[in-house]
Amino acid sequence: MTGDQAVAEMNKIEQVATQLAELEGHFFETDDYRKFRTRVFRVLARREARLKRGLIEQWGAALIGPAGSGKSRIAERVIAEYTDLAERTGGRKFGTKIVSAIVPGKATVRDTCKAILKALDYPVARTPDEDYLIDRVMYEMKEQKVAGLHLDEVQDAGRYKTSDSMEQFSKRFRNMTQDKNWPICLILTATPEAKELINHDRTFTRRLKPIEMSPARPEVEGLIIRKAMTTFLVTMGAVHHPELDRPDFMRRLIHAGARCFGVAIELVQEAIGLAMMEGETTLRLDHFVDAYFERTDCDDELNPFISDSWRAIDTKIVMERAVREKKSSKSAAKR
């Protein structure tokens, strides 16, 4: 490849990346989004009403779903909507702000508190003890009139640890919902592993109102994914090939996304990106074939957009080799 060709390729890659980033700005409402929105709005409204009457204990909400289901995006949208609507309707005496923090991989109370303080624009350089950090978090939330604390990826809390460790984590953050000076609503988003943490502490369980996300369904979320694809293509000045209107296409797409709405949307965006890289203005099935291959590096036999046995493919696994599996089966049979 000549220097000019390399430059042209780099420019094309950057152009397509910019256009795909624009597509990611779109948000499409699902049943899970609407349920969680209502749940969060209600616990925050109840907090305001209870605090006006001098009642301390507050409730929280949790959204549980597999990786790629769109939990974090839903929470981000709901939080932005609540803040905007609360301020446009006159604000709230006990605050409208919701702070988001990602639970660190170590998932200790100390490291989580440091992440929260960073989100509150109060980073700590040194590593003080746990009690100090908890007190500092509560002080800052009161000073900044924070109504809710959103912890993302909370499934890491207590993972690979003892029952006592999980209890310590849940108790520390549960206590924030009943702090006598400034109780807040706790909002959690996590993968299904977090159910162990939530169910471990009965008081914690009682204080949360959880929603477990449903697997994407062709007859429901499939219609939304179809709408999203049309919106993306219109934005890009492109169209789709009639082959994408086949009855089994959406079923294959949802299966390819491991029945996760967010992953299916990403596959649509990635397929469009590949079409754009080729200078195509028509989105075709082979673009989805290639998009799935780029995500998984699998054999054609294990690509749900190609295989006749696509329903049997485990789309949560990457780098699978059908030939290798067959050889292993033959070796096992000889033994």
* Residue 58 pLDDT greater than 60, yes or no: yes
Q: What is the pLDDT of residues 254-295, one digit of tens each?
A: 999 999 999 999 999 999 999 999 999 999 999 999 999 999
For residues 227 and 121, membership in a common domain is answered with no
pLDDT of 127 reads 72
Quickly state the pLDDT bin for 168 (edges 50, 70, 90).
confident
Task: Note whether residue 311 is domain-resident.
Answer: yes
For residues 143 and 244, membership in a common domain is answered with no
Range of the structural domain that residue 97 is part of: 31-212
Task: Identify the weakest region by mean pLDDT among 27-31, 111-115, 143-147, 221-225.
Answer: 111-115
Last residue of a domain, one of 188, 212, 236: 212
Q: What is the pLDDT of residues 178-198, one digit of tens each?
A: 999 999 999 999 999 888 888
For residues 223 and 296, membership in a common domain is answered with yes
For residues 179 and 242, membership in a common domain is answered with no
For residues 193 and 57, membership in a common domain is answered with yes
Task: Note whether residue 22 is domain-resident.
Answer: no
Q: What is the CATH number of the domain that holds 119?
A: 3.40.50.300
Q: Give 71's contacts (C-beta < 8 A, 6+ positions apart).
A: 63, 64, 65, 152, 189, 190, 213
| pLDDT, greater one: 333 or 183 | 183
Tokens of 46: 């109840």
Tokens of 164: 């006592």
Pairing mode, strands 97-102 and 146-152:
parallel
For residues 278 and 134, membership in a common domain is answered with no
Question: How many Cβ atoms from other residues are within 10 Å of residue 111's Cβ?
Answer: 16
- Coil, strand, or helix at residue 188? strand
Q: What is the residue whose two structure tokens read 């067959």?
A: 326
For residues 229 and 284, membership in a common domain is answered with yes
Helix (H), strand (E) counts: the chain: 13, 7
| CA gyration radius, the chain | 24
Task: Note whether residue 26 is domain-resident.
Answer: no
For residues 176 and 41, membership in a common domain is answered with yes
For residues 253 and 118, membership in a common domain is answered with no
Tokens of 228: 């999203």
For residues 171 and 239, membership in a common domain is answered with no
Last residue of a domain, one of 179, 212, 245: 212
Q: Check if the beta carbon of residue 69 is closer than 8 Å to that of residue 218.
A: no
For residues 61 and 200, membership in a common domain is answered with yes
Task: Note whether residue 321 is domain-resident.
Answer: yes
Say how many domains are in the chain: 2
Task: Note whether residue 25 is domain-resident.
Answer: no
Q: What is the pLDDT of residues 63-100, one digit of tens each?
A: 999 988 999 999 999 999 999 999 999 989 999 999 99
Task: Note whether residue 232 is domain-resident.
Answer: yes
Task: Note whether residue 16 is domain-resident.
Answer: no
Last residue of a domain, one of 181, 196, 212: 212
Task: Note whether residue 24 is domain-resident.
Answer: no
For residues 81 and 183, membership in a common domain is answered with yes
Residue 163, judged by CB atoms within 10 A of its CB (0-12, 13-18, 19+), counts as exposed
Q: Tell me the whole-structure pTM to 2 decimals.
A: 0.89
